[in-house]
Each structure stands twice: as C-alpha cells, then as structure tokens.
Amino acid sequence: HRDLHSFPTRRSSDLLFVIALAGLLNSCQRNDVVGLYSGFQDPPAEARPFVRWWWNGNRITENEIRRQIEVLHSAGIGGVEINPIAFPEWSDSLGIPSLTWLSPEWNRLLALASEEAGKRGMITDLIVGSGWPFGGEFINVDESVQRVITNSIKYNGGDRIKETSGTLLQKALESQSRAAEGEAFSNELFFIRLVPEMVGEMFLVKDLLPLIDSDGNLDYTIPAGSYELVYGILQKGHRHVMHGAPGAAGPVMDHYRRNVTLAYLNRLKKISEDTGIPLHKLIRALFCDSIELAGANWTDSFEEIFLKTYGYDLKAWFPFIFYESYRGYEKDKFTEAFADQVKRVRYDYNKLLVRVFLDNFTQTFQDFCTENGLLCRYQAYGTPFLMGMMEGNMIPDIPESNNWIYSVDMETDEWIWNQDHGYMIWNLYAASGGHLTGRKIISCEAMTNTRGVFKTSLEEIKRHDDMNFITGINHTILHGYNYSPVEAGFPGWIRYGAYFSEQNTWWPYFRKWTDYNSRLSYIFQNSKPVKNIAIVGPTGDIWSERGLIRVPFHKEPWYCYRLWEPLSQSGSSCDYIDEKIITDANKQKGLMKYGPVSYQALILCNVRSMEPQTAEAVSEYVESGGKVVIIGSVPVRSLSYMNAEANDNTVKNIFDDLPDEYPDRVFRVDEPENQEELLSWTEGILGKLKIDKDLEIDEPCKDLFQIRNTDGERDIWFIVNSNRSETIKINAEFPTGNKTPWIWNPEDGSRK
C-alpha cells in the first residue's frame, strides 16, 4: 500500500499530479526504458500541444507568419492547424488585403508557413475548406446539401384546405425551431399526405400530391373524422459555411455523395500544382471539424438505396420518418401495432442515413488522405445529428473530440461538466474508437470557448485538460491562436478562444503547462490503455424513438454516460462501444477481444431493443465465460422492420434464458436513483462482477480519477485530484507483484 497525495493549490503552476509507473524493475537502464523516459523528459512535436491557427480573413503576410511561428515555438507548441476563417467584423483590418483560399498567393504562404514550422521541428495540419462544414462559393445546386423539412396542420371533417406551395413552404419554415442557416437554392414540395388521428393502417393515409394543380394550388374538403395534413419540403443548399473565409464561403456540399466529397477534396491538389511541393511534404494531416449540417437528411437516390438495402419501399412512410432536426420525433397518435411498425422503419431510415454518410463522406475522406500520403484528423460528433459516434471514430487515423469550458460553473471546487452539451461523451467515443483500432493519437479540440475569452486561467486549462487525459485523449489541439499582427495592438484580431496569445498576462508561464501536457501526451501515445468493461447504451432505441439528435443520446438513460466517472473513481475503467463491436469481437475464456482491447465484462444500459445477431453474440460471449450486467430494461425486441416477429423472438428468447442459465455471469440490476448514489451503486456492480481492477482504492472518492496503461511489462497509472482546493489522501494497492514503483513527475520531467 502507498499513500498518494495531491497538493492543494489555486496556482496551476504549483499543482502536482502523480504518474506512477510500476514495472521498470531494477534494470531501469534498459534501452526501451531509457527511450520512454527520454521521450518523457523531452517530448517530440507530435506529443506537444498544437494550436488551431485562425487565419482571420486570410489577411496574411510573410513576415507575420514567420513571427507567429516563432512565438508559438518558443511557447512549447508542437504544431499548428491552419484554419482560414472569416475576418472578425469588429476588428480593424489595417488595410491588409484578404487572400482567396487556394489562390496562388495563398498556396505560396501556406507552403511558407509549413517550411517555417518545419525549420523548428514543428508539424503543420490543414483544415479542409474554411470554417465549417465543407463548402464554398463554387458549390452549385446539384452538389449542395439537402434536407426535408416537415410540418403538420390539424383538420376536422368538413374543413376545407386552401393552400399553395408558397404558403405551405412559409408555414414549414415558421415551424422550425431554428432559423435557416443560409438561403436555400431551391424548395420543392416533396410529399403531402392526409393522416387520420390514431391511424392504424397505411391504406388510410391519403396522398394529396396528385390533387395540386399546375399553379401549385390545393383545394380539398376534409372527410369525416380528425386528421393531420403532413407534408415535406425538399430544400437544397439550406446550409452555408459558418465563418467562411474568401474562396471557401457559400453553400455547403452534399456529404452523402462520394463523388461530391472527392470533387471537393481534389481541389486541394492545386496547392501542390502551384507550389511544386507534394501535399504530404507540406502538411501531416487534413482536418474535418464537427459535423454540423443543419439537419441534412436526404440525398439523390436515397430512396433507391433504401429499397436495395431493406427490401421495402420508403415512400409510403414519408409522413412518419422525417423530424425537426433539433426536436427529434415527438409523441405520435398511432395505434400500438402501427406505432411499433413506425419505430422500426424509423430505425432503418436513420441507420441507413448514418451508413451512407460514413461510406460516402467519412471513409472517402480517410481514403483520400491515405492515397495522398496524409493522415486524416476527424471529429465524429456534431449538431444537430450524431452521425455514427462509434464507427465514425473508428475510421480516421486520428479520431478527435472537443472539450468545452464555460459551459458550466467554473468557480466550483468540484470539477463538473455539462451532460446536456455532451463533450465528455465525445471524448469517450473518440477514445474508444482509437483504442479499438489501435490508433496512436487520439486528439481533442481543447478549451473551446465562445464566451469569457479573457477569463481563462492556466489553472483551469490544466484542470480541464487533465480530465481529457482521464477520458482517453492523448493529444491537445488548443482552441485557438488568432492570427493577429503586432500592429493590431491589444487584444488584436479575435474570433474565439481562451486568448492563447503572447499578449496574455500568463503567457510567460504558458511553457510550464505545455511541457507538463506534452510529457503526459508522450506517455499515453506510446503505451497501451487498459479497459476492463465495455458499455453499450440504447442507441437503437433512441434512433427509433427520438432520431439522430444528440441530446437524448447523451441523456437517456442519464446514468449510462456518467458511468465512466464512478468506474474510474472505483479503480476500474471502460470503453463505450456499439452492437457491431459485440458481433465482430472474438469471445473466448471470458474475454471480449476486439483489435488490441480485451474486455472482462459487458454492461447494457436500458437496452430495450437489439439486433438479433447482437443478441446471439452476447449469448456466445456469456457461454465462453463472459460476464454481463443488464441495467434497467431487458432486451425483448429487435429493431428493423423486415422479419420483425422472428427477430423479436430471437432476442426475447435469448434474454429470457441467459439469466437463468448463467446466474453467476448475467446480473440484473435496477437503475440508480440519483447522482449522489451512483458511486456506491457502481461499487455494488463491481462487487457482483468480481473482475480485475486497475487499482484497489480503499475509499473511492468522487474527486479522484485514475487511468491505467501498459508498455510491455510495465504498468502506468495517472491519478488526478480534480478538486481545486481539497487535498485527498488515499490508500491504494497496485496489482504489480514484486515490481519496483517509480514516480515520474510530468511537471519537470524528473523521476524517483
């Protein structure tokens, strides 16, 4: 046993967190040990924090690029992500002209920036396009993003519908919870149906589209009964680039079509054509920011793809599958049997939407990077939709998350985060995707801040970044460093950020944090994470009942995406996975193995519905000796529309039998009642599972977090006291046998 202390302080430069490595043995001068420690003392550029370097308005010059690169290098920054963005309208341009994205002069200065960074051993990444998402003035109607927006109007028997295409469009736009994020190229009446209240059969739904005359007028008298007129408008080009710089502003492209994605990416080859330098010699990685497509939910040929995939026609279900992108599916008035059918069709629709997106955008983006000798850095989360949190993070070379500050009270002693926003969930899925695919680097757009620009202290930067490490992040991309010439004075050209600037009063001490951060990053990038437990949330149920919007995903059930906290506090660890990992994993001797990761237990959080092949895989896992905890609801039904009855029986029969057949391996547990009891409730689950822990802690504490990695025979722990003022004293037992413990201090690179 060993007492581990964290030191109370309000000055982040004094705050010491302990990293204990057991297993260096007495022969600590072996080459591999020396190499690990050497990198810890003096981390390479890829382990050092990067900055998002906003090229405000592309008002860039040679001398200023050189000056800013030197400022960043002196501060311990390892690389830059060049990010052209619109000029802040409140700033004085000083008469410096804007360059156009991918113009010969812009490309020349990009090459200059890369050369200047390279001279200092720094790395250059490049965002694709400008601002977010991918788009530009050159995107035409046929390449533009698409969505179907819907509206419903109540009618009773005898009422008369007198509408035009124009009035229907206006009412649909007014019904949206958010204003349009760009003027659409076109608006077309996509479908219009009269749906009886408490509808129970599809034949009762009447198609009114054939009744609209050539001038777009609809005149129709409602038959007896209560109805809703449900209609959809197909919009093209409804989303424009946010803060686009000259040359890459304008409409957003259709991310669901491979040819459009490739056409956009191929524009980047002009950089090499103009400079004579291969793209991979200039930049390490192309970067894609968060997926924010304003509810894009359709593309050309989607109806045909759906029919080919599932074997039934989607058109009849149009009134029931689309949803307002920030609200999700709302309570419907259907018979019970019809409501069940609708849920299944909605699942098929949303699942295919994600699949088409991942194939035609995410995988295509990764393939382009690979073919051109580049790495792919990609953020799989977004708004309003989450387009495949698990698989999306398994595709790119560098999965990336996003950590926010000032989304919660920053003055509390206890570290807290905003579950509505969900940024720690994005961390965990990015980390899980990286763990399962063996990625070396899992990065995070860190300290994202759109308010309180002048509030952020080094203490808070350190505090929040330590928790990024705890969730599995191992590289920090700071948000951000504003391109701002000396002549702009204080505060300069500012778009966003925590004011990472040489004009900040704490800048002289900033190097202390960058060194600390990079030592930890180096260790985590060059070791293997240990994760004992796989957690699955009710993603299929949410897609069926709420859609792809992100807030239900983060919050339903509330405890699912808080479990990583008490597990870490109790000395254990977890990844969040999806059904595909369960089906594809190798199950043997009580372990679920996927890639380099082996899980000792599986937790299902209120999963009411499941694919039949997943249920069969869970059964196989249990039969091999695996342990499963079922929290709340037990899976009793399948998800998809076709062959529903047979698939339901498969799922139900498996989960009816498993707890009885394997009472020592399958455990039913009630949901925790509240946040206050979550830690003790989690300890109860670990007591049932009786699996190996990373660390035995005698009295788990809500402020103390830990993670464990391995490097060959060596074991590594990172232990954090997240409280900003309270000291924690614990007794901890490390499961390392006779190995020799070393403490490596990431503050100064020393060890003892």
Residue-wise pLDDT tens digits, 334-343:
999 999 999 9
Continuous segment of H or E residues that includes residue 617: helix 612-623
Query: What pLDDT sits at residue 4?
Result: 38
Residues 6+ apart with CB under 8 A from 401: 379, 381, 423, 426, 427, 429, 430, 431, 442, 443, 444, 445, 468, 473
pLDDT at 64 over 60: yes
Cα–Cα distance, 500 to 509 (Å, whole number): 12
**Of 437, 689, 675, whose CA–CA distance to 561 is shortest?**
675
- Under 8 Å between Cβ of 727 and 7: yes
Average pLDDT of the chain, as a whole number: 93
- Under 8 Å between Cβ of 470 and 487: no
The reply to whether omega before 596 is within 30° of 0 (cis) is no
Mean pLDDT, to the nearest integer, of 102-107?
Answer: 98
* Beta bridge partner(s), residue 125: 81
* Beta bridge partner(s), residue 123: 79
pLDDT at 32 over 80: no
Q: Look up residue 486 and give its DSSP letter.
A: G
Query: What pLDDT sits at residue 177?
Result: 86
pLDDT band at 35 (very low <50, low <70, confident <90, very high): confident
**Of 389, 379, 394, 374, whose CA–CA distance to 439 is shortest?**
394
Cα–Cα distance, 560 to 428 (Å, whole number): 12
User: Per residue, what are the HEC states of 228-246?
Assistant: EEEEEEEEECCEECECCCC
Cα–Cα distance, 484 to 381 (Å, whole number): 30
3-class secondary structure, 421: coil
DSSP result, 342-407: HHHHHHHHHHHHHHHHIIIIIHHHHHHHHHTT-EEEEE--BSSB---HHHHHHSSSEEEEEEESSS
Mean pLDDT, to the nearest integer, of 243-258?
Answer: 97
Residue-wise pLDDT tens digits, 263-284:
999 999 999 999 999 999 999 9
Cα–Cα distance, 203 to 195 (Å, whole number): 10
Residue-wise pLDDT tens digits, 486-496:
999 999 999 88
pLDDT at 3 over 50: no
Cα–Cα distance, 454 to 711 (Å, whole number): 40
The Cβ-side half-sphere exposure at 312, using a 13 Å CA radius, reads 13
Q: Look up residue 670 and give its DSSP letter.
A: P
- Under 8 Å between Cβ of 130 and 84: yes
Least confident segment among 244-248, 411-415, 567-571? 411-415
Query: What pLDDT sits at residue 1?
Result: 29
The Cβ-side half-sphere exposure at 268, using a 13 Å CA radius, reads 26
Q: What is the CA radius of gyration of the chain?
A: 27
pLDDT at 106 over 80: yes
Our measurement of the distance from residue 531's CA atom to the centroid of its chain's CA atoms, rounded to an integer in Å, reads 19
User: Per residue, what are the HEC states of 304-354?
Assistant: HHHHHHHCCCCHHHHHHHCCCCCCCCCCCCECHHHHHHHHHHHHHHHHHHH
pLDDT at 5 over 80: no
Residue 135 has φ and ψ, to the nearest 5°, of -175, -175
- Under 8 Å between Cβ of 334 and 205: no
- Under 8 Å between Cβ of 384 and 329: no
CB atoms within 10 A of CB 450: 12
Mean pLDDT, to the nearest integer, of 436-443?
Answer: 98
Query: What pLDDT sits at residue 451?
Result: 78
Query: What pLDDT sits at residue 33?
Result: 55
pLDDT at 10 over 80: no
pLDDT band at 27 (very low <50, low <70, confident <90, very high): very low
Cα–Cα distance, 252 to 254 (Å, whole number): 7
Structure tokens at 598: 């082996």
Residue at 504: amino acid letter: N
Residue-wise pLDDT tens digits, 145-154:
999 999 999 9
Tokens 């950089």 identify what position?
Answer: 271
pLDDT band at 332 (very low <50, low <70, confident <90, very high): confident
**Of 47, 616, 703, 116, whose CA–CA distance to 412 is shortest?**
703
Mean pLDDT, to the nearest integer, of 59-83?
Answer: 98
Continuous segment of H or E residues that includes residue 2: strand 2-5
pLDDT band at 14 (very low <50, low <70, confident <90, very high): very low
Cα–Cα distance, 695 to 605 (Å, whole number): 24
Mean pLDDT, to the nearest integer, of 360-384?
Answer: 97
Residue-wise pLDDT tens digits, 487-539:
999 999 998 888 999 999 999 999 999 999 999 999 999 999 999 999 999 99
Query: What pLDDT sits at residue 595?
Result: 97
Q: pLDDT higher for 22 or 212?
A: 212
Cα–Cα distance, 628 to 666 (Å, whole number): 5
Cα–Cα distance, 460 to 88 (Å, whole number): 26
Residue-wise pLDDT tens digits, 343-357:
999 999 999 999 999
Cα–Cα distance, 42 to 671 (Å, whole number): 47
- Under 8 Å between Cβ of 650 and 535: no
Cα–Cα distance, 638 to 435 (Å, whole number): 29
Mean pLDDT, to the nearest integer, of 706-725?
Answer: 95
Residues 6+ apart with CB under 8 A from 350: 543, 544, 547, 548
pLDDT at 331 over 90: no
Please state the pTM of the whole predicted model: 0.95
pLDDT band at 25 (very low <50, low <70, confident <90, very high): very low
Calculate what percentage of the chain has a pLDDT beyond 70. 95
pLDDT band at 34 (very low <50, low <70, confident <90, very high): low
Cα–Cα distance, 730 to 714 (Å, whole number): 23
Structure tokens at 331: 């309570």
Query: What pLDDT sits at residue 432?
Result: 98
DSSP strand E in 61-173: where?
79-85, 123-127, 146-156, 160-164
3-class secondary structure, 438: coil
Calculate what percentage of the chain has a pLDDT beyond 90. 90
Structure tokens at 643: 């062959």
Query: What pLDDT sits at residue 506?
Result: 96
Mean pLDDT, to the nearest integer, of 385-395?
Answer: 97
Query: What pLDDT sits at residue 180?
Result: 79
Q: pLDDT higher for 55 or 333?
A: 55
pLDDT at 314 over 80: yes
Residues 6+ apart with CB under 8 A from 369: 285, 286, 375, 376, 397
Residue-wise pLDDT tens digits, 649-689:
999 999 999 999 999 999 999 999 999 999 999 999 999 99
pLDDT at 134 over 80: yes
pLDDT at 17 over 80: no
Our measurement of the distance from residue 658's CA atom to the centroid of its chain's CA atoms, rounded to an integer in Å, reads 33
Least confident segment among 398-402, 417-421, 538-542? 417-421
Query: What pLDDT sits at residue 48?
Result: 98
- Residues in the chain, overall count: 752
Query: What pLDDT sits at residue 737?
Result: 87
The Cβ-side half-sphere exposure at 630, using a 13 Å CA radius, reads 22
Strand pairing class (475-482; 528-529): unpaired
